[in-house]
Amino acid sequence: MPRAETVVLKLRPPGRAKRAWLDRTAELFRQGTQLGLDAALGMATSSRAKIHTATYASIRALGLPSDYCRMAVNQAVQLARSHFGLRKSKQQAGKPTAVRSQGIGLGTNAYKVVGTALRLSTGVQGVYIWLPLCVPQHWRDRLQYVRGDARLFRRGDEWFVMLPLKMPNTPTVRDGNGETVIGVDLGIVRLATAKHPNGVFIANGKAIRHTREGYASLRRRYQRHRRLDRVRAMKGKERRWMTDLNHKVSRGLVDLAARYPNPVLAFEKLDGIRDRIRGSKRFNRMVASWAFRQLADFVLYKAERAGVRVIFVDPRKTSRTCPKCGHATRANRTTQADFRCVACGYQGNADVVASLNIAGVAAGLLRQGPPDTARPSAAPRCGAGQAAPAGERLDGVKVWASVHADSNLESSV
Ligand SMILES: [Zn+2]
């Protein structure tokens, strides 16, 4: 079942001709609604079919384009129903009238959202009115889910459109108490993976690993030749490279988060991360855990300046919990890179899944109360440490933006 949501967007100020068309159509829509309403009251019915049959032709004759007539009838039906409802409950109910401020009802055939513009049918085939919308950046990819009847209305000199959304119930980026929570998964193959409402941020793992391996093989060669001075120089060089990389990645993560409302970046707690890094040589684990700490430090100070909160969560089970149904088992993780839920069949990239789960745990903490948003060592303790299923709708929690974990991986850095 898709979830229904509504969004109201402002139109960019329309030019004189479009304004005139909008005002004229709104007036015709009002007149059409009034015709339907009069018929409903006259016949003492709120049956859509009866009102439609009785009035459609005369509404059409007003000059209202056909795509708008059905909605005028619907509007009349609604007004009639609420009027009869009021009378039934013996409340005062004056004769209802259609008013211009109710705007223009847009049936699904009357409009289409194309990019960030509203395309209205004019009743003439192939002739449209284009109305660009003011769409916040973080709203853009939600417009693909616009489905159903909409409404255009005017307040003062400005026009607005109310659009219905049918959001798919796929695992999502979590929202604590109105925060946008973005989980960051740290790894050796990919330094950082972060699912965010508009896609996936990845610190390009291949290039990083390639450079690291280059350093490692050089180091081995110098060690074989007992060139300890060179080994030391190597280590310094690798650290400087890593530091530079961490500056870029942390900048990327903070800039990304800052694009969203009430942003929170969530990381796994770094205590014991060295032991959690699997399948890697001891030296690589040391370098990696140092690199993660440095990355977290850089993120912390950049985030503070940018007004982005940072939260650290218990990482237990974040790599093997299903973000859709919450089932947690090692068997979900088929390979290093792939996640496949044995319970519900949800599939995704393992790093993206971990990122979603970290966000899920963090969102849970945010709902519980004010979290510490401090340093890695002072991170809040998290009880069960299990990510709540991300598709679940909890009290006061808005879940938004769909995830198609593997289809929209984008590289950053
Ligand atoms: Zn599942």
In the reported structure, the alpha carbon of residue 347 is separated from the centroid of ligand 1 by a whole-number distance in angstroms of 8
pLDDT over 70 at 385, yes or no: no
In the reported structure, the alpha carbon of residue 403 is separated from the centroid of ligand 1 by a whole-number distance in angstroms of 14
Residue 145 CA to residue 1 CA, distance in Å, equals 13
In the reported structure, the alpha carbon of residue 175 is separated from the centroid of ligand 1 by a whole-number distance in angstroms of 20
- 1 vs 4, 7, 169, 197, 399, CA distance in Å? 9, 19, 7, 20, 14
pLDDT over 80 at 281, yes or no: no
What backbone phi and psi angles, to 5 degrees, belong to 87?
Answer: -65, -40
Q: What is the mean pLDDT of the segment spanning 290-311? A: 87
Query: What is the full DSSP assignment across 18-55?
Result: HHHHHHHHHHHHHHHHHHHHHHHHHHT---HHHHHHHH
In the reported structure, the alpha carbon of residue 95 is separated from the centroid of ligand 1 by a whole-number distance in angstroms of 54
* Amino acid identity at 394: L
In the reported structure, the alpha carbon of residue 76 is separated from the centroid of ligand 1 by a whole-number distance in angstroms of 46
- Identify whether the C-beta of residue 72 lies closer than 8 Å to the C-beta of residue 105: yes
Radius of gyration of the chain (CA): 28
In the reported structure, the alpha carbon of residue 366 is separated from the centroid of ligand 1 by a whole-number distance in angstroms of 24
- Regarding predicted confidence, which is higher, 319 or 55? 55
In the reported structure, the alpha carbon of residue 395 is separated from the centroid of ligand 1 by a whole-number distance in angstroms of 21
In the reported structure, the alpha carbon of residue 29 is separated from the centroid of ligand 1 by a whole-number distance in angstroms of 48
In the reported structure, the alpha carbon of residue 327 is separated from the centroid of ligand 1 by a whole-number distance in angstroms of 5
In the reported structure, the alpha carbon of residue 268 is separated from the centroid of ligand 1 by a whole-number distance in angstroms of 21
In the reported structure, the alpha carbon of residue 387 is separated from the centroid of ligand 1 by a whole-number distance in angstroms of 12
In the reported structure, the alpha carbon of residue 121 is separated from the centroid of ligand 1 by a whole-number distance in angstroms of 43
- 147 vs 107, 283, 394, CA distance in Å? 10, 54, 24
Residues with CB in 5 Å of ion ligand 1:
322, 324-325, 327, 341, 343-344, 346
Q: For 387, how many CA atoms within 13 A lie in the half-sphere containing its CB? A: 35
- Identify whether the C-beta of residue 163 lies closer than 8 Å to the C-beta of residue 9: yes
Per-domain boundaries in the chain: 3-166, 172-206+248-412
In the reported structure, the alpha carbon of residue 318 is separated from the centroid of ligand 1 by a whole-number distance in angstroms of 13
In the reported structure, the alpha carbon of residue 167 is separated from the centroid of ligand 1 by a whole-number distance in angstroms of 19
N-to-C CA span, the chain: 37
Match domain 172-206+248-412 to its CATH number in 2.40.10, 1.10.3470, 3.40.190, 3.30.420. 3.30.420
Residue 110 CA to residue 344 CA, distance in Å, equals 39
In the reported structure, the alpha carbon of residue 278 is separated from the centroid of ligand 1 by a whole-number distance in angstroms of 24
In the reported structure, the alpha carbon of residue 393 is separated from the centroid of ligand 1 by a whole-number distance in angstroms of 16
pLDDT tier, 275 (very low <50, low <70, confident <90, very high otherwise): low
Sequence-distant (≥ 6) Cβ neighbours of residue 165 within 8 angstroms:
4, 5, 6, 7, 142, 145, 146, 147
In the reported structure, the alpha carbon of residue 332 is separated from the centroid of ligand 1 by a whole-number distance in angstroms of 8
Tens digit of each residue's pLDDT (9 = 90 or more) over 225-261: 888 788 788 778 888 888 888 999 999 999 999 988 8
Tens digit of each residue's pLDDT (9 = 90 or more) over 123-178: 888 899 999 999 877 677 778 888 889 999 998 889 999 888 876 655 445 555 67
DSSP structure class, residue 327:
-
Alpha-carbon dihedral sign for residues 31, 36, 39, 41: negative
In the reported structure, the alpha carbon of residue 409 is separated from the centroid of ligand 1 by a whole-number distance in angstroms of 21
Residue 359 CA to residue 380 CA, distance in Å, equals 14
In the reported structure, the alpha carbon of residue 317 is separated from the centroid of ligand 1 by a whole-number distance in angstroms of 13
Sequence-distant (≥ 6) Cβ neighbours of residue 105 within 8 angstroms:
29, 68, 71, 72, 74, 75, 149, 150, 151
In the reported structure, the alpha carbon of residue 341 is separated from the centroid of ligand 1 by a whole-number distance in angstroms of 5
Query: What is the full DSSP assignment across 147-165?
Result: -S-EEEEEETTEEEEEEEE
Q: What is the mean pLDDT of the chain?
A: 79
Query: What is the full DSSP assignment across 353-377?
Result: HHHHHHHHHHHHHHHHSPPP---GG
In the reported structure, the alpha carbon of residue 92 is separated from the centroid of ligand 1 by a whole-number distance in angstroms of 53
pTM of the model: 0.49
In the reported structure, the alpha carbon of residue 182 is separated from the centroid of ligand 1 by a whole-number distance in angstroms of 20
Residue 373 has a pLDDT of: 42
Residue 156 CA to residue 101 CA, distance in Å, equals 10
In the reported structure, the alpha carbon of residue 342 is separated from the centroid of ligand 1 by a whole-number distance in angstroms of 7
Q: What is the mean pLDDT of the segment spanning 97-120? A: 91
In the reported structure, the alpha carbon of residue 126 is separated from the centroid of ligand 1 by a whole-number distance in angstroms of 46
Residue 383 has a pLDDT of: 31
In the reported structure, the alpha carbon of residue 265 is separated from the centroid of ligand 1 by a whole-number distance in angstroms of 24
- Regarding predicted confidence, which is higher, 277 or 69? 69
In the reported structure, the alpha carbon of residue 344 is separated from the centroid of ligand 1 by a whole-number distance in angstroms of 4
In the reported structure, the alpha carbon of residue 328 is separated from the centroid of ligand 1 by a whole-number distance in angstroms of 8
pLDDT over 60 at 224, yes or no: yes
In the reported structure, the alpha carbon of residue 181 is separated from the centroid of ligand 1 by a whole-number distance in angstroms of 21
Return the percentage of the chain with pLDDT > 90, whole number.
32
Q: Do the strands 128-134 and 117-121 form a parallel or antiparallel pair, or are they unpaired?
A: antiparallel
In the reported structure, the alpha carbon of residue 325 is separated from the centroid of ligand 1 by a whole-number distance in angstroms of 4
